[in-house]
Structure 1
């Protein structure tokens, strides 16, 4: 996926799917890491194939971006509503989850614009799918930890 436009379109489609799925009531399952791992792998592959110019500034901005989207993953994971239905933990995203997704995307775009203005745009463009995968993985991890905390309290 060397074309940044293709990566962006894939990211938009995946984000629409993720948002739709997160707003539905569904069981908290251990499979919550499949999509984030696939996106992270695709993102890493895209980064390797793109051969963007690597500068200290670009690496720094990419690191900041990944840290920021991971932070938003934590916040979204905490915003997900958890409840028990028929003895099974369920989850459903809230209005706060959607607002945090909007902020995640807005900050990601803002960092991309900043990187482009500073001459490091190619590297941050190449990390789009990687950052989405990491953000989703962190969110899933937080949800899993919250549910695991219930088991420790009950056990």
Structure 2
């Protein structure tokens, strides 16, 4: 398979996963600590297992620096998006929904990552599916952990503790609601 074909496949997979993730976040959904961790962990595992050439590409300081930078950008974006989402407490259950700020932060994060991928390509340190899925997994796990923290939910606690009634904040003044 040529580099162009592989790039098109990688790009298509990344866009489809990203559209699915953002669409889910913009609709109201129940905040569940188990589900919050399942998808990000699966994305990381699929990226590590499916992309057999990822570790071969990490053969230069530039490639490693771009990978670490991508993970940091993902973590920072996750923290910001978690602060931008609405938390709704209804019948003892916490629900979350993205806002216009959440969408803007997704766009900004993706544009930074596309720029980093272009820089990597120009510096002969191209990325593949593994790096993209690792970025998505990290950004989502950080976002979800911060959402759980805001909601007062235990991250890996017992189901009984998750059902306890706790006060829920609705965000910060830095991210006004729509």
TM-score tier by shorter-chain length is: 0.7 to 0.9
Consecutive unaligned residues of structure 2, counting only runs of 5 or more, are 154-163, 169-178
- Asked if 1:43 is matched to 2:47, the reply is yes
Q: Which residue of 1 aligns with 2:64?
A: 59
Q: Hey, which bits of structure 1, 4+ residues long, moved more than 6 A?
A: none
Structure-1-length-normalised TM-score? 0.87
Structure-2-length-normalised TM-score? 0.76
- Asked if 1:97 is matched to 2:102, the reply is yes
CA contact 2:58–2:64 (8 Å) conserved in 1:
no
Partner secondary structure for residue 83 of structure 1: strand
- Could you tell me how far 1:136 is from its partner in structure 2? 0.9
- Could you tell me how far 1:152 is from its partner in structure 2? 6.1
Partner secondary structure for residue 152 of structure 2: helix
Cα deviations across residues 84-113 of structure 1 (Å, max 9, x unaligned)?
Answer: 112211100000000011011100000011
Partner secondary structure for residue 120 of structure 1: coil
CA contact 1:57–1:120 (8 Å) conserved in 2:
yes
> What are the residue-to-residue correspondences of 1:126-145 with 2, within 5 Å?
126-145=130-149
Higher helix share: 1
Q: Which has the higher contact order (CA 8 A, sep 6+)?
A: 1
Consecutive unaligned residues of structure 1, counting only runs of 5 or more, are none
Larger C-alpha radius of gyration, 1 or 2?
2
- Could you tell me how far 1:6 is from its partner in structure 2? 2.4
